[in-house]
Amino acid sequence: MSFISCATFRRRTPFSLGIALALLLAGCAGAPRDVAPASPISQNRRVEMLAATTRRPSSEPGELYSGERGGAISFDQVVVTTPPQPDPQQTLTRIDSTKFQSERDIRAWVVRHSATKRRVLLYVHGFNTSHRDAALRLAQIVRDGDIAAAPVLFSWPSRGGVFDYLYDKESANYSRKALETLILQASEGPDVADVTIIAHSMGGWLTVEALRAVALKKNGVPANIRNVILASPDIDVDVFRRQWLEMGPRRPHFTLIASNHDKALDLSRWLSGGVERVGGVDLTPYRAMLASLNISVIDTSAIDSADPLGHSDFADSPEIVRQLARQVAGRDQSERSIFSAAAGAASRNLSAPAPVAPPALIEPGRAPSPEAIPLAEMSKLRNGEIAY
C-alpha cells in the first residue's frame, strides 16, 4: 500500500473485484488502533488484566509474544495505561507486563480484581490480531463499559497478518485445549461466582469449541458460566449447530452480534466453500423462533462504524459496549430490554433482540431438529437414520 493511500484505494476499488482486493482492504482497516477513544462514562485510563497465552515469546524488542505457537500456557499480569487526552497522531498507550510466578499469585490477583460480585470477564480475540492489539481491545472494552469484573485475556497465536487466515485457523485449533483448561479453572475456582465470555470473529469458533469440550467432560457447561457473547462470529452455521447441540441442555445464555454487511465474513464464507458464517447472516426472520434456545441477537447492520469492513462494530460503538457491560453485570437475565433504543443514538439502529434459532437449526427443508428429540433417544435409528 505504499503507492496509494488506503482511503483512495477504498474509493476506487469495489469489494466484489476479488479476494486479493478484499485482503488488501483488510490490511487498510488494520487491527485495533493503539489509541481507542473511551466514552465519557469512565475516567479510568489504567486497566489491569490477566493474560493467558499459547503464543511463543518474541525475540523482537518491545514485543512480549509473537504470532508463533508456544509449547506452554503463559500467564502474565498486563497493565494498559492511556493518557487522559489521547492524541490519535501518536502511539501513547503503554503496556507493561509481569509474569505470574505461582497459582497462588493468580488466585490472589483474581480475588483482588473481581470486585464484590466475584465476576470474571474472559475475552478471546479473533483473526489478524497481535498480542498487543488483543490487550488493547480488552482494555478498551473494560474502560468504555466501565466493567466491574476481573479482565482475563486469552491470546492465541494469530500472526496478525491478513494473508495468514489458514495459519490462524489452525492456531485456533491448536489452542482449544488451553482455552478449555482456562475455562475450567475459572469456573471451578472458589473465588469466582460469574464468568462472561466475549469472543470476536475466529475466536468465536475457538470459544464455542472449548465450551463444547467442557460440556462433554462435565455433562454440561458449568452454571457459573452465565453469558457467552459472540461478536461477528466466524463460525460455519452447520458447525455451530453441532457445537451448540452437543453441549446438551446445560448451556449458558448466548448473544450473537451479527451484521449482513460484514465484508470480512463475506470473504470467510468465500474461502469456506460458500457456507454462511453465523455472524454474517440476517437473523431477524428468526426472532420469534424457539425462545427456549436462550439465544439473543444484536443486529449491527445499520450501525455506523469506523471499521470499513464492518467486522468490529461491537467495539466501535460505545452504546453497544455499555449494553454488553450490563450483561456482564448480570442484569440481562431479568431485564430483556437492555438492548433497547434507550441506550443512545447508535442503539436506535439496533433491531430489538429476541431469542432466535440459528438458521441451520430451522432452515426450510431440513429434518426436524434433534433439539426436539430427548438426548437419550438421539442415538436411536429412526426411519433408517440416526439424528445428527
What is the SS3 assignment for 234-249?
CCEHHHHHHHHHHCCC
3-state helix, strand, coil in the chain (%, to 5): 40, 20, 40
Q: Which amino acid is at 329?
A: A
Q: What is the CATH number of the domain that holds 328?
A: 3.40.50.1820
Average pLDDT, the chain: 76
pLDDT attached to residue 61: 87
Are 361 and 278 contacting, i.e. CB atoms less than 8 angstroms apart?
A: no
Nearest-CA neighbor of 20 among 201, 232, 259, 271? 271
Residue 5 included in any domain: no
Average pLDDT over residues 322-350: 49
Question: Nearest 5 degrees, angle CA 311-CA 312-CA 314?
Answer: 125
Could you tell me where the beta strands, DSSP code E, fall in the chain? 46-57, 65-81, 94-99, 119-124, 150-155, 194-200, 225-231, 253-258, 295-299, 381-382, 385-386
Model confidence pLDDT, tens digit, residues 205-222:
999 999 999 999 999 999
Is the pLDDT reported for residue 284 higher than 80?
A: no
pLDDT attached to residue 93: 79
What is the number of other CB atoms lying within 10 angstroms of the CB of residue 288? 10
HSE (CB half, 13 Å, CA atoms) of 348?
Answer: 2
pLDDT attached to residue 315: 80
Residue 123 included in any domain: yes
pLDDT attached to residue 348: 32
Residue 366 included in any domain: no
Is the pLDDT reported for residue 169 higher than 60?
A: yes
Structural domain of 309: 31-360
DSSP state of 277: B
Total domains present in the chain: 1
Nearest-CA neighbor of 141 among 348, 346, 347, 312? 312
Is the pLDDT reported for residue 331 higher than 70?
A: no
Residue 285 included in any domain: yes
Residue 301 included in any domain: yes
> Range with the lowest mean pLDDT among 17-26, 184-193, 287-296, 298-307?
17-26
Q: Please state, in angstroms and as integers, the Cα–Cα distance from residue 88 to each residue in 35, 83, 197, 208, following that order.
A: 6, 11, 29, 35
Is the pLDDT reported for residue 229 higher than 50?
A: yes
To the nearest whole percent, how much of the chain has pLDDT over 90? 42
Residue 184 included in any domain: yes
Is the pLDDT reported for residue 24 higher than 80?
A: no
pLDDT attached to residue 58: 95
Residue 251 included in any domain: yes
Is the pLDDT reported for residue 39 higher than 60?
A: no
Residue 190 included in any domain: yes
